[in-house]
Structure 1
Amino acid sequence: MKVVVTGGAGFIGSHIVDTLLESGMQVAVVDDLSTGRFENINPAVDFYHVKVEDAELGEVLARVKPDAVIHQAAQIDVQRSLQEPLADARINILGAINLLEACRRNRVGKVIYASSAAVYGRPAYLPVDEDHVIEPQSPYGASKHTVEHYLKIYSEIYGIKTTVLRYSNVCGPRQDASGEGGVVAVFADRFLNGKRPKIFGDGEQTRDFIYVGDVASANLAALFQGHGKILNVSTGTRISVNNLFKIMKELTNSPLEPEYCPPRPGDITHSYLANNRAREALNWAPRVSLEAGLRRTLEYYRVENK
Structure 2
Amino acid sequence: MKVLLTGGAGFIGSHVTEELLKHKFQVVTIDNFVTGFQGNIPGKVKFYQMDLGDKRVELVFKQEKPDYVIHLAAQASVMASMTNPYLDFFTNTVGTVKLLDLSKKYNVKKFLFASTAAVYGEPLYLPVDEDHLIHTQSFYALSKYSAENYIKQYSTLNGLDSCILRFSNVYGPRQNENGEAGVISIFINRLLANETVDIYDGSQTRDFIYVKDVAVACRLSLEKEVKGVLNISSCIETEISELYDQIAGIMEINAQPSYEPKRVGEIEKSILDNQKARRELSWDLHHSLLKGLEDTVQYYTEKYLTSTI
State the TM-score, normalized to the length of structure 2: 0.96
1:301 partner letter? Y
In 1, the alpha carbon distance for the partners of 2:256 and 2:225 equals 44
Q: Distance in 2 between matches of 1:20 and 1:179?
A: 24
Show CA shifts across 1:164-185 (max 9, x none): 0000000000000368761111
What does residue 204 of structure 1 align with? Answer: 203
| Partner residue in 2 for 1:77 | 77
For structure 2, which runs of at least 5 residues remain unmatched after alignment? none
Which letter maps to 2:195?
K
- Please state how far the C-alpha of 1:227 moved relative to its aligned partner: 2.8
- Corresponding letter in the other structure for 2:228: K
Instruction: Name the amino acid aligned to 2:40.
Output: N
1:265 paired residue number:
264
Please say if residues 77 and 140 of structure 1, whose CA atoms lie closer than 8 Å, have aligned partners that are also in contact. yes
For the residues of structure 1 that align with 2:269 and 2:137, how far apart are their CA atoms?
A: 14
Q: Are 1:98 and 2:76 an aligned pair?
A: no
Aligned residues: 305
- Does residue 296 (structure 1) correspond to residue 295 (structure 2)? The answer is yes
Secondary structure of 2:235's aligned partner: coil
Distance in 2, Cα, partners of 1:235 & 1:176: 21
Residue 80 (structure 2) pairs with residue 86 (structure 1): no
2:112: which partner in 1? 112
SS at match of 2:223: coil
Structure 1 position 242, deviation (Å): 1.1
Deviation sequence 1:47-88 (CA, Å, 0-9, x none): 001111222111111111110010000000101111111110
Q: What is the match of residue 275 of structure 1?
A: 274
Q: Which digits, 9 at most, give the CA deviation of each residue in 1:173-223, with x for residues without a partner? A: 00003687611111111111111211012x111100000000000000000
* Percent of residue pairs identical: 42
Distance 1:179 1:149 in 2: 22
> What is the alpha-carbon distance in structure 2 between the residues aligned to residue 278 and residue 180 of structure 1?
22
Give the C-alpha shift of residue 275 in structure 1.
0.3
| Residue 255 of structure 1, CA deviation | 1.5
**Quick one: which amino acid aligns to residue 230 of structure 2?**
L
User: 2:170 maps to which residue?
Assistant: 170
Is the Cα–Cα contact under 8 Å of residues 211 and 290 in structure 1 kept in the other structure? yes
1:158 aligns with 2:158: yes
Task: Report 1:21-170 matches (<5 A).
Answer: 21-170=21-170
Native 8 Å contact 1:163 1:226 kept in 2: no
Aligned residue for 1:232, secondary structure, equals strand
Cα separation, 1, equivalents of 2:91 and 2:54: 10
How far apart are the structure 2 equivalents of 1:86 and 1:17? 29
Alignment partner of 1:187 is 2:187: yes
CA distance in 2, matches of 1:159, 1:57: 22
**Residue 180 to residue 160, structure 1, CA distance change in 2 (3 Å):** closer
- Quick one: which amino acid aligns to residue 214 of structure 1? D
Residue of structure 2 equivalent to 1:244? 243
Alignment root-mean-square deviation, CA: 1.2
Q: Distance in 1 between matches of 2:54 and 2:275?
A: 37
The answer to whether the Cα contact below 8 Å between 1:54 and 1:98 also exists between their aligned partners in 2 is: no
Q: Per the alignment, in what secondary structure is the counterpart of residue 305 of structure 1? A: helix
Counterpart in the other structure of 1:224: 223
1:8–1:41 Cα contact (<8 Å) kept: yes
- 3-state SS of the aligned residue for 1:113? strand
User: Is the contact made by 1:207 and 1:238 (CA closer than 8 Å) also made in structure 2?
Assistant: yes
Aligned to 1:235: 234
Q: CA deviation at 1:91?
A: 0.5
Distance 2:295 2:226 in 1: 32
The one-letter code sitting in structure 2 at the alignment partner of 1:220 is: R
Q: Deviation per CA, 1:253-285: give whole Å up to 9, x if none.
A: 002111111211211111100000001111101
TM-score between both structures, scaled by the size of structure 1: 0.97
Distance (whole Å) between structure 1 residues aligned to residue 43 and residue 28 of structure 2: 10
Cα distance 1:180–1:123, how it changes in 2: closer, same or farther (>3 A)? closer
Retained in 1: the 8 A contact 2:77–2:179? Answer: no
Alpha-carbon distance between aligned partners in 2 of 1:298 and 1:284, rounded to the nearest angstrom: 26
| Partner deviation per Cα, 1:224-274 (whole Å, 9 max, x = no partner) | 225322000001111101111111111000021111112112111111000
Paired AA for residue 275 in structure 2: N
